[in-house]
Amino acid sequence: MPNIKPANFIANNSGSFHYVEKSNPHTSNLEFLTYGTYELTGPTSSGTLAHPTEETLLFTWRGAATATVNGKEYALEHYDTLYIPRGATYRLAQKSGETKIIACRATADNTHPVFHSRWSEYSKDEKRIRHLKGKDVFLMFDVSEGADKLIAGYTIFQPHQRSYPPHNHTDQEEVYIFTQGHGSMEVYVDEETKSFVKSVNEGDAVTIPLLNYHPVFSQEEELHFIWCIAGNRYWVGDKNKDFMTGKVDKLTT
């Protein structure tokens, strides 16, 4: 007698898992970066996920979940990040509640180790924090970690602040994903042709192609956003100290 498995009833209001892709190189004027969100509701688990040609960074925006990468489990709490190398298999699961996990992917040729950065630790580690006037930058996945193209972190603006000096990149494209608060953002090649001036709220994102200046402005409350870079691996303030001192009106890296 064969071992016949029982059927499974799936109620309309049972737990669910789905992925919503927000942007990819075909829609964004970026060369490498794809951005989307995994949304988990109730007791649920994804199937096996993998990206054969891309490396991935996960950012736990809301809720908490467990990621299983190549058979090893990682507990993802608020603002934790997880680097998943190209070709690795992974699953996302939760027992209850609602969780949103932001995913950024970029093409990669090489395989690097999985890396889990915990916000509860990194938000207190001065080696991972860059203090600017009115804002703090948290390097969650930096050049000290192995990857082909990706680095990423969080920036938290105090109320009524702006990015200064404005900067752009010759060798890095970016996406900014706003996770808390309300503010605005500009993206432009030069002041004369500036036309991209947008209000930003929680869940909004802005893609930043090469050589675009991209200042952010907070308003009456803290403004939090993820910055995820694909390209040459450095953070602007570590490469160019003028960014930290604010002694120039603008700069290019």
Note the pLDDT tens digit of each residue in 142-199: 999 999 999 999 999 999 999 999 999 999 999 999 999 999 999 999 999 999 999 9
Whether residue 9 has pLDDT greater than 80? no
pLDDT of residue 94: 97
pLDDT digits (tens, 9 = 90+) for 229-244: 999 999 998 998 888 8
Residue 131: pLDDT band (50, 70, 90) is: very high
pLDDT of residue 129: 98
Encode burial over 91-127: b for 16+ CB neighbours within 10 A, e otherwise.
Answer: bbbbeeeebbbbbbbbbbeeebebbbbbbeebeeeee
Q: What is the DSSP letter of 121?
A: H
pLDDT of residue 8: 82
37 to 22, 58, 108, 123, 175: CA distances (angstroms): 8, 9, 20, 23, 14
Q: HSE on the CB side for 201, CA within 13 Å?
A: 0
pLDDT of residue 159: 98
Whether residue 25 has pLDDT greater than 70? yes
Residue % of the chain over a pLDDT of 90: 89
Q: Which one is predicted more confidently, 63 or 14?
A: 63
pLDDT of residue 1: 67
Amino acid at 38: Y
How far is 50 from 172, CA to CA, in rounded Å? 25
pLDDT of residue 225: 98
19 to 22, 35, 38, 100, 103: CA distances (angstroms): 10, 11, 5, 10, 9
Average pLDDT, the chain: 95
pLDDT digits (tens, 9 = 90+) for 31-52: 999 999 999 999 999 999 999 9
Residue 7: pLDDT band (50, 70, 90) is: confident
pLDDT digits (tens, 9 = 90+) for 195-233: 999 999 999 999 999 999 999 999 999 999 999 999 999
How far is 4 from 234, CA to CA, in rounded Å? 55
pLDDT of residue 249: 87
Residue carrying structure tokens 């956003």: 225
Whether residue 13 has pLDDT greater than 80? no
Domains and CATH numbers, the chain: 16-117 (2.60.120.10), 119-246 (2.60.120.10)
